[in-house]
Structure 1
Amino acid sequence: MPRSLTNEQRIFLVKQWWISGNTRVVNEAFQAEFPDTKIPTRQTIYQLAKTFDETGSVEDAPRSGRPRTVRTEENMERVSETFLLNPQTSKKRASIDLGISRRSLGRLMQDLNLKLYKPRLLQALNEDDPDRRTKFCEWVLDSFEEDPTVLDRILWTDEAIFKVNGRANRRNCVYWSDTNPHLVIEQELNVPQVVVWGGIWSNGVVEPYLFEGNVTSQKYFQMLKDNIIPQLEEHSSFQTMIWQQDGAPPHYGQIVRDYLDDTFLHWIGRRGTIEWPPRSPDLTPCDFSLWGILKDRVYAQNPCYTNHLKSLIEQEFISINDDIELCQKICRSVADRCQMCINTEGKQFEHLR
């Protein structure tokens, strides 16, 4: 029976049927009463009269099968309880257990404001690391309060490895799935790679230095003395620049520390005039921003041999150097990160951002 008929029209049809018992007469009366509605078929009139005889109502009998909507209070409570008891349940598993299609389950989860969250990798800390991190962050914020230009004067430096068959930053590669896809990215061993030194500050990035082989204190010292420092000395802000490096073994060599003591009034690092807290990649722009940007851009161009890789690295450094506003934003964001680090008593904070 057509569900387009209103209850008023159905009652009218039943009355006319019992008065005349003739479908032609019923249709003529119906057309006169409801001129804008399609005339019902003979079968519809018969079925409507039969339904009224059997049920005393002109309304359709309830349909069998699954209800038209599953967004009921009962199902909302069932879904909420399921994910409250086991937040790691996949949508597929929950759909089977609850007897609700995944599409309908998705709507219910949306109504409940349930969202998918990814775990994040965090640098493990040693027992005394939080105190060291807090001390450094307090120095940054106190210095920033006294001199708002201090973050513009720090040159943040680091090394990173780029490989010919490298992949884009995995932190930017997201795979949405209702279950673990067990995704595997095949990685060749012993492929050509380049160790890149880089530096960033509010005036841009420093021209990269590409090491040949492993980095040692002697190689690092020669790089500083013959390549990097001569570049920096040409800058008008060199006299007030603050050098930063982490505590990697090549940086800690006595020859390196003596050279930095002679070159800079203040430098941040292991046994520097300002102590760098170990295991703190979340506080240095190279780690939390620069390398990620560079690797995404370089690997997106599929370097196929070492010289091609080197050329792309140098090209992307130039590209970033043209975006001074980006460099300033990255370096000045250290203040906010230091405040978050202090708020968490020196513990990891990136997962809270």
Structure 2
Amino acid sequence: MSFTPSELCDMILIYGEMGKNVEEAQREYKERFPNRQCPTNDIIMNTLTALREKGTLPSDHEDSDGETEPTQDSNGTILHNSLFPHYVQAVELTENDYNARIRFCIWLQEKLSKEPDFSTTVLFTGECCFTNRGILNYHNPYTGTISNSTRNSFQYDFSVNVWAGIIDKTLLGPFIFPSELNGESYLQFLQSMMPEFIEDIPLQVRKQMWFMHDGAPLHISQAVRTFFHMNYNEWIGRGGHVQWPVHSPDLNPLHYFLWTYIKNDLYHSGKGEIDSEDDLKQRILRAAAEIQQKPAWFKCMHESLPRRAEACLRTKGDRFHYFL
């Protein structure tokens, strides 16, 4: 059986409404949604377990026991950073990457040991490039001309660059860039649009807020770093008060939580082909609006972060998805 993110969410909500009685939840789901396929008791419980323990929804690759089946290439090699069936991108980590990830996770664990709710004071941000056929680049968004080899391996007709932020249980954005996304347009966004998003954050939260963005090329220009040093007391990123480890989308909630949810909603929910750029934009906005209405999911996202840091240290800085 395959279920959309919205259907999985309905299962969990009904399970709570029925006093956490899975059999009653199954009957209520069938009665409330007669035109949908009815989940088994195991599917409802596996969905709940995945959210509680991993902070993510089970994917189409999960079997009935809730265990994720790793994506493999033609040689049987496990691709730990697989994104979705149409386009797999795995970045090979270097020794420097391992060390940077270890340092960051040690720092994060120390902060959480002193302030258990520390992650709720971090404004996690990121960008993603969505096309009509999938995510073009899951970590660093499209910022220029695509090579012929890229076009041959990943065909698409149109794309949009999207920014979003998450602090505590609040989703900021998404903001869809009107043109090409690069260091200059990102700086313009920070100067003109970011203040409006920050206004939505309570003043008391802003006083202790950390800003986080990853190591994408558009984040590391001198102008961008100068902007952050002038406007934020504490920020995480390349050149920031705390260094963000590059090639680490598995530690960024924007990637393992928000973009994954939107990706599943766009490409794996059976809603049909995306037929225009406007259609793509509207679907992204609708998916984001849906997730903003699910505060329990944000709680799971925060609970997943310390487990990810621990798993990263367990693997000595390597990929850790299958150790969660």
- Which residue of structure 1 aligns with residue 216 of structure 2? 248
- Which residue of structure 1 aligns with residue 45 of structure 2? none
Q: Secondary structure at the match of 2:160?
A: strand
Q: Aligned partners of 2:302, 2:104: CA distance in 1, in Å?
A: 16
Does structure 1 retain, via aligned residues, the 8 Å contact 2:210–2:236? yes
- Which residue of structure 2 aligns with residue 191 of structure 1? 157
Pairing 1:227-238 to 2, within 5 Å after superposition: 227-236=193-202, 237-238=205-206
Q: Aligned partners of 2:181, 2:163: CA distance in 1, in Å?
A: 10
Does structure 2 retain, via aligned residues, the 8 Å contact 1:281–1:287? yes
TM-score (norm 2): 0.64
After superposition, what is the alpha-carbon deviation per residue over 1:59-96, rounded to whole angstroms, capped at 9, x for unaligned?
Answer: xxxxxxxxxxxxxxxxxxxxxxxxxxxxxxxxxxxxxx
Q: Secondary structure at the match of 1:189?
A: coil
Q: Secondary structure at the match of 1:317?
A: helix
Equivalent residue pairs, number:
224
Which portions of structure 1, spanning 4 or more consecutive aligned residues, are displaced by more than 4 angstroms? 115-118
The structural deviation recorded for 1:246 is 1.0
Q: Aligned partners of 2:299, 2:194: CA distance in 1, in Å?
A: 20
- Which residue of structure 2 aligns with residue 120 of structure 1? 79
The structural deviation recorded for 1:117 is 6.1
Q: Aligned partners of 1:238, 1:331: CA distance in 2, in Å?
A: 18
Q: Secondary structure at the match of 2:195?
A: helix
The structural deviation recorded for 1:188 is 7.3
Q: Secondary structure at the match of 1:275?
A: coil
Q: Aligned partners of 1:116, 1:232: CA distance in 2, in Å?
A: 40
Q: Secondary structure at the match of 2:95?
A: coil
Amino acid aligned to 1:129: D
- Which residue of structure 2 aligns with residue 220 of structure 1? 186
Identity, in percent, stands at: 27
Q: Aligned partners of 1:339, 1:257: CA distance in 2, in Å?
A: 29
The structural deviation recorded for 1:130 is 1.2
Out of 279, 284, 294, the position equivalent to 1:308 is: 279
Does structure 1 retain, via aligned residues, the 8 Å contact 2:80–2:321? no
Does structure 2 retain, via aligned residues, the 8 Å contact 1:205–1:327? no
Q: Aligned partners of 2:173, 2:156: CA distance in 1, in Å?
A: 27
Q: Aligned partners of 1:323, 1:116: CA distance in 2, in Å?
A: 27
Larger Rg: 1 or 2?
Answer: 1
Q: Gapped runs of 5+ residues in structure 2?
A: 1-67, 72-77, 82-90, 136-151
Out of 177, 200, 211, the position equivalent to 2:166 is: 200
After superposition, what is the alpha-carbon deviation per residue over 1:170-218, rounded to whole angstroms, capped at 9, x for unaligned?
Answer: xxxxxxxxxxxxxxxx987351110111222322211111123321212
TM-score (norm 1): 0.59
Does structure 2 retain, via aligned residues, the 8 Å contact 1:202–1:324? no
Q: Gapped runs of 5+ residues in structure 1?
A: 1-114, 168-185
Q: Aligned partners of 2:154, 2:93: CA distance in 1, in Å?
A: 31
Does structure 2 retain, via aligned residues, the 8 Å contact 1:152–1:328? no
Does structure 1 retain, via aligned residues, the 8 Å contact 2:70–2:79? no
Q: Aligned partners of 1:328, 1:217: CA distance in 2, in Å?
A: 32
2:106 aligned with 1:135: no
Pairing 1:24-173 to 2, within 5 Å after superposition: 118=71, 119-122=78-81, 123-166=91-134
Q: Against the structure 1 CA distance between its residues 262 and 191, is the aligned structure 2 distance closer, same or farther, given a 3 Å change threshold?
A: same
Does structure 1 retain, via aligned residues, the 8 Å contact 2:166–2:254? yes
Out of 317, 320, 323, the position equivalent to 1:349 is: 320
Does structure 1 retain, via aligned residues, the 8 Å contact 2:132–2:156? no
